[in-house]
Amino acid sequence: MKRSATSNQLSIGMEATKEEQDFVEAQLARHNQEATGGRFSYPGQGESGLAFDLVVRDQGGRVAGGVSVSSVLGVMWLEVLYVADEFRRRGAASWLVLEAERLAHEKGCIGAGTWTFNWQGPEFYPTIGYELRGIYTGYPFGVTEHVLAKRLPDGTSAAKTADRIARLRHEGFTLLTAPSEDDMRVVGRGFHQFCTRNAGEEMDTPGIGVRLALKDPAGHVVGGLGAFTTIRNMVLETIWIDERFRGRGHGRRLLLEAERIAKEAGCSAVSTHCLSFQSPEFFHKLGYATYGVVDVAVDGHTEDLLIKRL
pLDDT of residue 8: 62
pLDDT in tens, 126-181: 999 999 999 999 999 999 999 999 999 999 999 999 999 999 999 999 999 999 99
Q: Are residues 179 and 123 in the same domain?
A: yes
Which stretch of 34-48, 94-108, 125-139 has the lowest confidence by average pLDDT?
A: 34-48
Give the domain extent around 117: 52-202
Q: For 118-127, what is the mean pLDDT? A: 96
pLDDT in tens, 5-29: 344 689 999 999 999 999 999 999 9
Q: What is the 3-state secondary structure (H, E, C) of 208-228?
A: CEEEEEEECCCCCEEEEEEEE
Q: Are residues 60 and 190 in the same domain?
A: yes
Residue 88 banded pLDDT, cuts 50, 70, 90: very high
**Could you tell me the CATH number of the domain that includes residue 302?**
3.40.630.30
pLDDT of residue 203: 80
Of 202, 226, 243, which residue constitutes the final position of a domain?
202
Q: Are residues 99 and 160 in the same domain?
A: yes
Indicate whether 264 belongs to any domain: yes
**CA–CA separation, 223 vs 114, rounded Å?**
29
Of 156, 187, 202, which residue constitutes the final position of a domain?
202
Give the global pTM.
0.93
Indicate whether 46 belongs to any domain: no
pLDDT in tens, 291-308: 999 999 999 999 999 999
Number of domains in the chain: 2
Indicate whether 40 belongs to any domain: no
Indicate whether 237 belongs to any domain: yes
Indicate whether 47 belongs to any domain: no
Of 159, 186, 202, which residue constitutes the final position of a domain?
202
Q: Are residues 214 and 287 in the same domain?
A: yes
Residue 285 banded pLDDT, cuts 50, 70, 90: very high
Q: Are residues 213 and 290 in the same domain?
A: yes
pLDDT of residue 55: 98
Q: Are residues 121 and 73 in the same domain?
A: yes
Average pLDDT, the chain: 94
Q: Are residues 293 and 211 in the same domain?
A: yes
Q: Are residues 254 and 280 in the same domain?
A: yes
Indicate whether 158 belongs to any domain: yes
Q: Are residues 21 and 106 in the same domain?
A: no
Percent of residues, the chain, with pLDDT higher than 70: 97
Q: For 107-118, what is the mean pLDDT? A: 98
**CA–CA separation, 15 vs 199, rounded Å?**
29
Indicate whether 41 belongs to any domain: no
Structural contact between residues 140 and 112, judged by C-beta atoms closer than 8 angstroms: no
Q: Are residues 138 and 70 in the same domain?
A: yes
Residue 205 banded pLDDT, cuts 50, 70, 90: confident
Q: Are residues 122 and 67 in the same domain?
A: yes
pLDDT in tens, 215-247: 999 999 999 999 999 999 999 999 999 999 999
Structural contact between residues 75 and 115, judged by C-beta atoms closer than 8 angstroms: no
Q: Are residues 136 and 211 in the same domain?
A: no
Indicate whether 45 belongs to any domain: no
Which stretch of 145-149, 204-208, 266-270 has the lowest confidence by average pLDDT?
A: 204-208
